[in-house]
Structure 1
Amino acid sequence: MARIVPDLSALAVPGTRIAMRVTPKASRNALVPADTSDGPLRVYVTTAPESGKANAAVLKLLAKALGLPKSRLSIVQGETGRDKLVEIG
């Protein structure tokens, strides 16, 4: 499966919050930057949204794009929804 992961290392500052819209059960894993500066990041993951597997896949993909360990990321809003807010610790 192809992965599309842009370099988001400029956002890797403690305290930064990243808004995103997640699409689980997608055909590929991908991060797509928003069309506008105030729009959410689009995240596509191939895993199903059961038992937190999609959230774990989102954090893993985002951590790779940021160049951080996934333990530094936490979902502060939207744990069970498609719209999420992730904070860098």
Structure 2
Amino acid sequence: MSELARLDFPPVRNGIDYLASVVEHFDENEWAVEPCDLKCAVLHLQAAAEVLLKARLLREHWSLAFQDPDERNSKKGDFMNCGGAAPQ
């Protein structure tokens, strides 16, 4: 597999990876969850939800992924996505 193929993270695959990470942070053989594992699980769950929802918006129409579709061609790269954050 080439280096470029290993660095290809389409949104849905990326979202699924985040969800898998959430599950991994909760070991079914342990009764208590460490605070760091809980923190990582919550952060990855939020990231998964955001990425997967944005992927769904893109399937409907590309303009839904931007806060202001007219700024999508910004050469400076300072446009905002639909969540109000810089593109990921």
TM (norm. structure 1) is 0.24
| Structure that is richer in helix per residue | 2
Q: Bigger radius of gyration, 1 or 2?
A: 2
Q: Which has the higher strand share?
A: 1
TM-score by length of 2: 0.24
